[in-house]
Amino acid sequence: MVQAKTSDFQPLPLKILNVLSLLAGASLLVAVSWEILLGDPRHYSTDYLLLQGIVCVVFLADFFARMWMADHSWRFFFRNLYFFLLSVPYLNIVDWMGIELSHAEAMLMGLVPLLRALLGLYVLFTWIINNRVTRLLTSYVLSMLVFTYFAALIFYDYEIEVNPALHDFGDAIWWASMNLTTVGADIFAVTAVGKILTVLLPTLGMMMFPIFTVYVTQIYTRNRKSDS
């Protein structure tokens, strides 16, 4: 999940944790999608909380194993503190303690699984890049698809019950795609989270577009050299 050393050698337990983290990240993405699209929008299911607890245990085990292997353990801890904070199963703790949350607290707590799903995306994406499965263009396309899906998932989760212009997840995908390409959609956000995404997506799209232009430039330069 996080890197402790630059050496290519890894002991067997750490390799096993790498595989488990990859599987946990993929499982969490599927579970979050299922919970948001098909579950109860007001409560998280018992099965989802159980899976999230298991995923968090895997992430924490991976984090502390890499911390133990690092040359400077506490420096590693503070540099990767956000991974640790996102790996704590807050919803499970609240559920186990029987704490009743206010609406605002529940909305804030509801962001944690989505952020943790983003951590799962990071694990998957890092694995793909490190294993050199993709090149620049494929990495660009994959990044755009991932950001579009994740933004649509968040937008759907927060807007579906309060936004009359949003009818299903297909509308959310359309909204995210149009905003990421800076075209804009005729669905306007009504929640604070949706409005923040409306600002962030076009910004991200403008930041990602130069990667595509660099790819085209490299192809053009390579063809010019081959012709000469």
> Has residue 5 got a pLDDT over 60?
no
Q: What is the pLDDT of residue 223?
A: 66
pLDDT at 171: 92
pLDDT confidence bin for 7, thresholds 50/70/90: very low
Q: With contact defined as beta carbons under 8 Å apart, do 150 and 124 qualify? A: no
DSSP-H helix ranges across the chain? 12-38, 46-69, 73-79, 81-87, 90-97, 103-130, 136-159, 169-180, 192-227
Q: Put residue 3 in one of left, alpha, beta given phi > 0 → left and psi -120 to 50 → alpha.
A: beta
- Rounded (5°) CA angle 188-120-125: 95
Among 2-11, 43-52, 194-203, the least confident range:
2-11
Q: How far apart are CA 180 and CA 62, in angstroms?
A: 33
pLDDT for 174 = 92
Residue 224 predicted with pLDDT over 80: no
pLDDT in tens, 84-131: 888 888 878 888 888 776 545 655 666 676 676 666 666 666 665 555
Residue 6 pLDDT more than 50? no
Q: What's the pLDDT score for residue 113?
A: 61
Contacts of 94 (CB under 8 A, 6+ apart): 101, 109
What are the tens digits of pLDDT across the range 129-175?
A: 555 444 666 667 777 888 888 889 889 988 888 999 999 899 999 99
Residue recorded with tokens 């991932």: 146
Asked if 174 and 159 touch (Cβ cutoff 8 Å), the reply is no
